[in-house]
Amino acid sequence: MRSNQPQTIYLSDYKVPAYLVDHVDLRFELFEHGARVHSILTVRRNPQSDDVGAPLVLDGDRLVLESLALNGTPLDGDQYEDRGDQLVIADVPEQFQLSVVTWIEPQNNTRLEGLYKSSGMFCTQCEAEGFRCITFFPDRPDVMARFRTRIEADRSAYPVLLSNGNDIDRGDLPDGRHFVTWEDPFPKPCYLFALVAGDLVEKRDSFRTRSGRDIDLRMYVEPRNADKCAHALDSLKRAMRWDEEVYGREYDLDIFMIVAVDDFNMGAMENKGLNIFNSSCVLASQDTATDAAYQRIEAIVAHEYFHNWSGNRVTCRDWFQLSLKEGFTVFRDSQFSADMGSATVKRIEDVTLLRTAQFAEDAGPMAHPVRPSSYIEISNFYTLTIYEKGAEVVRMLHNLLGPELFRKGSDLYFERHDGQAVTTDDFVRAMEDASGRDLSQFRLWYEQAGTPVLTVRDEFDADRGVYRLTVEQTLPDTPGQTDKKPHHIPFALGLLDRRGQPLPLRLADDDTEAPTERMLELTERAHTFEFHGLAECPVPSLLRNFSAPVRLNYPWTREQLLFLMSHDPDGFNRWDAGQRLAVDVIQSLVGAPRDTQVEPRLVTAYRHLICDASLDQALVAKMLQLPSEAYLIELADEADVPAIHQARERVLKHLAISLRDELVACYRRNAQDSAYDLSPLAIARRSLRNTALAWLLAINDEEGRALAVRQFRDADNMTDRIGALRALVNSDYEDDRNQALASFYQRYQDDPQVVEQWFSVQAASDRAGQLPQIRALLTHPAFDWKNPNKVRAVVGAFAGQNLAAFHQVDGSGYDFLAEQVCRLDDSNPQIAARLVTPLTRWRKFAPAYRERMRAALERIRDKPSLSRDVYEVVHKSLAG
Ligand code: BES
Ligand code: ZN
């Protein structure tokens, strides 16, 4: 492993490829002891490249080169140079065929990049740079080729052989082997290549496109999962229909395949015509998947499907442009989810993730722009900034242009760039050209890191009836970036009168037909807006629906927040007002004397939410969730985690004690009264019930305990069963906790996806997930270091969700994490690097914690032979 000073890659060094590959002919011989890969590349010099005498440079990683021939003539050792990670052939003609044979060992591949084995099947993961672990190739997304792939394997062990495109040939071979040949008619970058070989069952479905073509939909899973495919296939059909209706995008091949694999670094992958999924992101049954899992599956199936246009047909020029496909596709999948369920709830969930995790990333040592300008290891750049902030940037374009012009822009983008590898700038230009708007300042969102801060002040001139609003924007410094320019920000707002009625927003005296909501545009460091014709001082409803990814400061009074919580016509802002109020109340109790009063109006407001059944129950279910510890830490200057934890617990318990009877009534009112279904209302009711249960158990309520035990036993779905389990696990009823955990494991021990949930309920619990218990989980027979989901379920959940247990003042939690990172770094560097994340935030914490976090990072830094992945994260975290 390259441990000394890995190289930094710069966007400014981008050069078009010197050679293009038009066609790739692959033949895989798969065996138990390894695989032989025969590749024939049809190569020509790139007419766009001015690097005329350039050698042919192919990437390769851990490959054994068996043979190499140019136009059929074997090359001698002095005609090429094998540099370990590159194969260089100095002297090549204008056009030629290169034949390469490599030997690889998928059975020993624990990094899960390239070709590897997962529970007995062969599968691939090539994004971002995994194809170079399969064969020598120019592994960069601007080299697009047509692929033909022949797979040969033992027929009985691997009856199913899959790759991209259409199957054009199949047959038997000697020694009980067989082959299938696939051809993909669309040129694609090698990161979209995929291969699967295994003993899988096939579930079929079909979809008729709006132009009348019938698409074969096929899902492949291990036989034991045959009854968990319906939801993914239904989600896929909904996504296909939606993309036709909303974006005018139709599917282009005759077959669309989905495969589920247990060992997978990410959630899922959009390989052309052959999407590969982490089992936990695609398999579902009523008995094994929670509502959240059902929704996640629908979103991920859609996301990967949407990539067929935003990513595959139009792809990225280089990996600095990653957000071109990921940000846009996350925006598309979030619009889809909003349309399939409750749009307000979806927005709340997206913003919660953004504000809790992306804002933290943007304020820390790993902060980078949506289009980074350098990286060491690209796998580290599949970040919340690229994904979530990238999606917010596209959403802002949607806000600025409106739905019609935005659609015109996306049509132009897809038509103009079909079959090309392009940049985020090409995307913005298409939006610009279609709308006629100047987006030059808007482009700064791709270049400047850090979360803008908006500070709003207001005053009311009663004599003139004018309400004046001043909005100032500032941009924090981030690593390598200071003195930033102001952003172009869409700022949605409304004004309410004292009865909660929306007021017309008259920007001038004579503005008669004024709307009650406006999308203002901020482009300067400070703006002042005047609203005319007002009889009283209004209450402002600012940044509606979170119209831009910014921090918003306004001196709300608790009175105003209570008012907005019940009156704002914007559902998102109603929720946001509640969150701001709860944050204010909790913050005022951090480190305060024990007898400090909890704001009584918070109790009144929550009582109203719990009892008024006429309110939108999906919104209420969200409003009842107190701000998370992670969010409170993000908002703090020098976070004292135990103090934050205690203050939050105090508020939760105070609410539960004050509203005890209402919670029991709420629980009973929301009892399941009909067959299980996944409508937003049914999901909201389960959420309300489980919140009520959790709160009752937090105060050791005996009736709550009985309800939880009964629900755990009688539940007909996983949401309720695990909701009851979680409530019991987080309670003081130790016997009930242990019994429930044991019986749950007994029941589901053969289902890896449920066992993962069982691990994470414990690892995230401050009762069941203290360090000694976490160590015990790591030695549990069902734990497996080779399976990323298990590692995430225990180590990731402990460090990322069980914050009071992780942040021990003696640093034991940090040392534990450092130990696990070092251990994983040798087998799976991508997962190891991701696990470091909680430590990268070390500067956020109170001094005693901070120093010990830094010490843990230094311990990782000093490990011999550190991977490039962990090297980058640790060194950048310690820098500055
Ligand atoms: N292209 C990614 C998967 C990927 C990421 C592969 C990084 C290799 C390296 C895929 O489209 C994706 O974004 N998946 C997400 C889920 C999605 C719903 C945001 C994931 O895997 O978490
Ligand atoms: Zn994606």
Question: pLDDT tens digits, residue range 131-157?
Answer: 999 999 999 999 999 999 999 999 999
pLDDT band at 337 (very low <50, low <70, confident <90, very high): very high
Q: Are 486 and 475 in contact (CB under 8 A)?
A: yes
pLDDT band at 663 (very low <50, low <70, confident <90, very high): very high
Q: Give the number of the atom of ligand 1 that is nearest the alpha carbon of residue 304.
A: 11
Residue 108 CA to residue 104 CA, distance in Å, equals: 9
Q: Are 755 and 719 in contact (CB under 8 A)?
A: no
Instruction: Choose one of 274, 304, 389 to mutate for the ligand 1 pocket test, by most ligand atoms within 8 angstroms of C-beta.
Output: 304
What's the whole-number mean pLDDT along residues 441-468? 98
Q: DSSP letter at 820?
A: H
Q: What does the pLDDT read at residue 511?
A: 80
pLDDT at 703 over 60: yes
- Our answer on whether the CB atom of 382 is closer than 6 Å to any ligand 1 atom is yes
Three-state secondary structure call for residue 375: strand
Shortest-distance Cα residue to atom 8 of ligand 1: 127
Burial class of 590 by CB neighbour count within 10 A (0 to 12, 13 to 18, 19+)? middle
Q: Are 697 and 707 in contact (CB under 8 A)?
A: no
Q: Are 540 and 468 in contact (CB under 8 A)?
A: no
Q: Give the number of the atom of ligand 1 that is nearest the alpha carbon of residue 303.
A: 18
| Residue-level length of the chain | 880
Strand arrangement of the beta sheet that strand 551-553 belongs to: 526-531, 466-474, 453-461, 551-553
Ligand 2 centroid vs 731 CA: distance in angstroms? Answer: 38
Ligand 1 centroid vs 656 CA: distance in angstroms? Answer: 39
The set of residues, in sequence order, having a beta carbon less than 8 Å from that of 378 and lying 6+ positions away, is 9, 128, 129, 319, 322
Catalytic residue among 129, 222, 298, 304: 304
What's the whole-number mean pLDDT along residues 41-56? 97
Enter the pTM of the model. 0.99
What's the whole-number mean pLDDT along residues 523-527? 98
Q: Are 847 and 853 in contact (CB under 8 A)?
A: no
Residue 867 tokens read as 């991977």
Q: Are 235 and 301 in contact (CB under 8 A)?
A: yes
Q: What does the pLDDT read at residue 84?
A: 87
Residue type, position 552, single letter: L
Q: How far is CA 706 from the centre of its chain?
A: 37
Residue 716 tokens read as 């007909």
Ligand 1 centroid vs 460 CA: distance in angstroms? Answer: 49
What percentage of the chain has pLDDT greater than the value 70?
100
Residue 398 CA to residue 327 CA, distance in Å, equals: 13
Residue type, position 639, single letter: A
Checking DSSP bridges between strand 315-316 and strand 421-422, what pairing results, if any? parallel
Instruction: Choose one of 116, 266, 334, 375 to mutate for the ligand 1 pocket test, by most ligand atoms within 8 angstroms of C-beta.
Output: 266
Q: What does the pLDDT read at residue 3?
A: 43
Residues linked to residue 148 through DSSP beta bridges, in sequence order: 25, 183
Q: What does the pLDDT read at residue 2?
A: 44
Ligand 1 centroid vs 382 CA: distance in angstroms? Answer: 8
Distances in whole angstroms, Cα of residue 282 to Cα of each of 261, 297, 534, 783, 809: 9, 5, 53, 21, 40
Q: What does the pLDDT read at residue 477?
A: 98
Reduced 3-state DSSP string for 546-606: HCCCCEEECCCCHHHHHHHHHHCCCHHHHHHHHHHHHHHHHHHHCCCCCCCCCCHHHHHHH
* pLDDT tens string 741-765: 999 999 999 999 999 999 999 999 9
Ligand 1 centroid vs 323 CA: distance in angstroms? Answer: 11
Q: What does the pLDDT read at residue 4?
A: 64
* pLDDT tens string 580-617: 999 999 999 999 999 999 999 999 999 999 999 999 99
Neighbours of ion ligand 2 (CB under 5 A): 326, 329
Shortest-distance Cα residue to atom 1 of ligand 1: 269
pLDDT band at 403 (very low <50, low <70, confident <90, very high): very high
- Our answer on whether the CB atom of 269 is closer than 6 Å to any ligand 1 atom is yes
pLDDT band at 672 (very low <50, low <70, confident <90, very high): confident
Mean pLDDT rounded to a whole number for the chain: 98
Q: Show the CA angle centred on residue 497, arms to residues 493 and 500, nearest 5°.
A: 85
Q: DSSP letter at 389?
A: I
Shortest-distance Cα residue to atom 22 of ligand 1: 267
Shortest-distance Cα residue to atom 4 of ligand 1: 269
- Helices and strands in the chain, H and E counts: 30, 31
Is 634 among the residues known to form the active site?
Answer: no
* pLDDT tens string 58-74: 999 999 999 999 999 99
- Our answer on whether the CB atom of 833 is closer than 6 Å to any ligand 1 atom is no
Checking DSSP bridges between strand 551-553 and strand 453-461, what pairing results, if any? parallel
Residue 550 CA to residue 547 CA, distance in Å, equals: 9
Long-range contacts of 779-788 (CB under 8 A, 24+ apart): 782/745, 782/749, 782/752, 782/755, 783/759, 785/823, 785/824, 785/827, 786/110, 786/263, 786/827, 786/828, 787/262, 787/263, 787/752, 788/112, 788/263, 788/264, 788/265, 788/828, 788/831
pLDDT at 393 over 90: yes
Q: Are 310 and 329 in contact (CB under 8 A)?
A: yes
Residue 459 CA to residue 468 CA, distance in Å, equals: 5
* pLDDT tens string 824-836: 999 999 999 999 9
Checking DSSP bridges between strand 539-542 and strand 34-45, what pairing results, if any? unpaired
Q: Are 72 and 97 in contact (CB under 8 A)?
A: yes
Q: Are 268 and 303 in contact (CB under 8 A)?
A: yes
pLDDT at 330 over 80: yes
pLDDT band at 512 (very low <50, low <70, confident <90, very high): confident
Residue 428 tokens read as 């913005």
